[in-house]
Amino acid sequence: MQSPLLSPAEFAADAILEERTPVHEMIRLGIVGCGYVTALSHLPASLLTPQVAVTALADLDLSRAQEVAQHYHIPVATADYGELLGQVDGVIVAVPHNHHAAVALDFLQQGIPVLVEKPMAMSTAECQQMIDVAAAKQVALAVGQVRRFYDSSQLVKRLLETRFLGDVERFEAQEAVLFDNFNASPFTLQPPAGGVLFDTGPHVLDALHWWLGDFAQVAYWDDAIAGVEANCRLEVTTTNGVPGVIELSRTRRLANESRIWCEQGVITISAANAYGVTIESAHFAGPISAAHVVDADQARQITPFFARQLQNFAAAIQGQAPLLAPGAEGMRAIATMQRCKAAKQPMATPKWAEIPEQVIACLP
């Protein structure tokens, strides 16, 4: 089943397009891969980014590329991403994980700036090759760690840097995205693209690295037997000696939040709220936010943060600002995941009663 598109009622694309700057004055942007994240995040974000105009789409499924192009008034749709060379000033790579490096390198080697979706690549060797080529060609290489642009993530960064609650003592992170539609992203169930560690893991690990630094010690368990992992657990210690536990799942219901215990209180960061965090301490208790959020549905709206990410990429292309998530930063999560796979231990198999019915129904 093809991934859905935003309807005009959900996102007034035509109205926004009428207010755009002429295309010849903007960065011509191509997108390779027309799946879920492109249709529901990158393209709506492009309409909120005055510096860019998406002028070409590529997808192996030509009918899919044509459908998305027609919906967003994009002039070029092709099944061969090589046709974008010479037609674009920058590109977003949003293909299955195991093809990120190869596609990104094809553009970088031609001197075209790249924003590659997370995970940056499948190994640190691939990451380093991408970084080296981008440096040699003197072009931007950004990684789609969009959560760095969340108000909530940036609030945590400032709270920790200013030691608002004192030193960090420990942390936990739990995140689960259940497979209620297996056909939306079939590649996530195939070994070459990785399981939950390489899908959800880059978001969680990148945030933790950004806030707390690298991990000196990593212990890892997952439930992969003949395929990819649906559940995994990490027990880590940062280079500053702070212990933490990370749990990721595609089959269990978890808290979907990160908690950081400090000397004088606790910071809770919900995966469902990109705008603020909750603090518990003797001196202050309650939510703090960088913007007024009306309800839970608004708190989950992340298109504005994809727009911030794209604006940062455009500014870097124009030499006006540094990247918030450059290749060297994107490689940190990959290095941790690579260490996990090297140190893998088997996880205890959950009882069938703990697995959602829609997951069991999809098993062979």
Q: Facing residues of 222 across strands? A: 232, 346
pTM here? 0.88
Q: Quote the tokens at residue 182.
A: 């297996």
CA distances from 49 to 21, 90, 102, 118, 123 (A): 10, 14, 27, 21, 32
* Residue from 168, 174, 255, 175 nearest 212 by CA: 168
Instruction: Report the pLDDT value the prediction gives residue 306, as an integer from 0 to 100.
Output: 97
CA distance 180 to 107: 35
Q: Kindly report, residue by residue over 229-245, the tens digit of the pLDDT.
A: 999 999 999 999 999 99
Where are the domain boundaries for CATH 3.40.50.720 in the chain? Answer: 13-146
CA distance 126 to 337: 14
Q: Quote the tokens at residue 107.
A: 């553009």
Q: Specify whether the CB–CB gap between 358 and 183 falls below 8 A.
A: no
CA distance 347 to 4: 35
Taking only the tens of pLDDT, the chain with its 364 residues reads 333 444 433 444 444 444 555 656 799 999 999 999 999 999 999 999 999 999 999 999 999 999 999 999 999 999 999 999 999 999 999 999 999 999 999 999 999 999 999 999 999 999 999 999 999 999 999 999 999 999 999 999 999 999 999 999 999 999 998 765 444 344 555 677 789 999 999 999 999 999 999 999 999 999 998 788 999 999 999 999 999 999 999 999 999 999 999 999 999 999 999 999 999 998 777 777 766 655 666 666 899 999 999 999 999 999 999 999 999 999 999 999 999 999 999 998 755 556 666 666 655 5
Instruction: Report the pLDDT value the prediction gives residue 1, as an integer from 0 to 100.
Output: 32
Backbone angles phi, psi at 227, to 5 degrees: -130, -140
CA distance 129 to 273: 35
CA distance 32 to 54: 11
CATH number of this structure's domain 148-297+327-361, picked from the four choices 3.30.360.10, 3.30.70.1290, 3.90.550.10, 3.40.640.10: 3.30.360.10
Task: Look at residue 334 and give its three-state secondary structure.
Answer: helix
Q: Which CATH architecture has domain 13-146?
A: 3-Layer(aba) Sandwich (3.40)
Where are the domain boundaries for CATH 3.30.360.10 in the chain? Answer: 148-297+327-361
CA distances from 127 to 12, 28, 58, 322, 343 (A): 37, 25, 23, 19, 20
Q: Specify whether the CB–CB gap between 47 and 54 falls below 8 A.
A: no
